Homo-oligomer: A and B are copies of this chain.
Amino acid sequence: MMRNVAVIGYGVVGSGTVELFERNREDICRKIGRDCDIKYICDLRDFPGDKYEDRLIKDFNIILNDDEIEVVAEVVGGATFAYDYTKKLLERGKSVVTSNKELVATHGAELLEIAKEHNCNYLFEASVGGGIPIIRPLNKCLAGNKIMQISGILNGTTNFILTKMIREQMDFESALKMAQELGYAEADPTADVEGHDACRKICILGSLAFGKHIYPQYVHCSGISRITLDDVEYAENAGYAIKLVGTAKPEGDGRISVIVCPRLVPKSNLLSSVDDVYNAISVTGDGSGDVLFYGRGAGKLPTASAVVGDIIDCLKHQGRIIMIGWDDCTDKSYVVPYKTIENNMYVRIKAADAESLKPAVSELFGKVMYLERNGRPDDELAFITPRMVEGDIDANLEQLSASASIESKIRLL
């Protein structure tokens, strides 16, 4: 019996990984063509009476120093301890697979390089889109393409909240509360709601697709907490659904644009039909055209599915590099400033006599499309601007703010 796998972190994803691996172990052995099993589960907590209590350890060094261990699933999360663990394991030539998007987004280029130097693998299919296969398809199946655009609904919590707002006219606060009650949102929902989680994921996808590391701190990121039911209704009436979307796109000059923000997604785009906690990623290749991947973006077993898939790939290719990695990027201007990117913009304003501002709006923006909603009050106007550089839109809104209050500003996809 080969016991060549270890799991670090016995929380939701860790226990799912152990459960799925053990359930399908016979099949897994057939697939890799040899025996395998989980030897250690490392966690600082006690789990008295746990089915796998005999494999639980607290000292990470036992794993590091055990030559039988070929692959380690790091499902601890965070970018401090996990960084240290991962580095040490890779330096010993042990492959590491992970669901830790924070770590990949922060140190991915470095860790991939270390893995390469030590002839082992660092795989992270579980870091984006939970159970949805996206990393490997992008890295392998679409490798013959120039990627023209990636757009994704990458966070299940915010998509659940927006779905409740769209389908049941629940306001943001109530929908968030419901998400928390159902266990979809954490007590402190900032990372989800403000788009930081989605930001890490689009950085990983963009790094992979365009070959250079994209650091989250250079990415413009805004969340969904200021979206109102009025915005949802205006959008709906005009044939759009509001979704939190991460986009990454080459600008043609060697630089890229990467943004995470709510967007008005046209109903003709399948992303607009992605509801509840589901995620979806649309990739446009110069050969493949639009390809879409859809499924459960989080959760115990879906995420475990991706972790176990990576474990199998590592075991099957022990001692050989299987990923096409990406380079580090020290160029701070690689990600273009979002103010220089062109967008159509949805704008909602308030002013005592809003109708009277229409000539001023036309003068500033040219031909805009006005939107309607049931019982639109006289002091409100909502419109979609022509495609313009965002800095120019903002300058116009600044001027407009002398006579109106700018309530909402949401980009179109």
Which positions in A face B, CB cutoff 8 Å? Answer: 16, 20-21, 23-24, 27-28, 30-31, 125, 131-133, 136-137, 140-146, 211, 270, 273, 285-296, 299, 301-302, 304-309, 311-313, 316-317, 320, 322, 324
Contacts and interface: CB of A to CB of B under 8 A. Distances in A.
A28 B141 CA distance: 12
5 contacts: A131-B289, A133-B141, A136-B136, A137-B137, A137-B141
Given A288-B302, A295-B288, A146 B273 contact: no
Contact of A288 (B30, B290, B296, B311): B296
B140 A287 contact: no
A327 to B, nearest CB: 10
Given A132-B291, A136-B136, A287-B308, 7 more contacts: A24-B146, A133-B141, A144-B312, A288-B306, A290-B296, A291-B294, A316-B324
A144 B288 contact: no
Contacts of A131: 285, 287-289, 291
Contact of A145 (B16, B24, B290, B320): B24
A132 B306 CA distance: 19
A285 B23 CA distance: 13
Given A136-B136, A137-B137, A144-B28, A287 B313 contact: no
A287 B312 contact: no
Contacts of A294: 270, 291-294
A8 B14 CA distance: 47
Nearest to A291: B295
Given A293-B293, A324-B31, A143 B273 contact: no
B270 A287 contact: no
User: Of residues A142, A285, A309, which shows the largest number of chain B Cβ atoms within 10 Å of its Cβ?
Assistant: A309
Nearest to A21: B144
Closest 6 CB pairs between A and B? A144-B308, A133-B141, A287-B305, A131-B288, A133-B137, A291-B295
Contacts of A304: 144, 287
A302 B324 contact: no
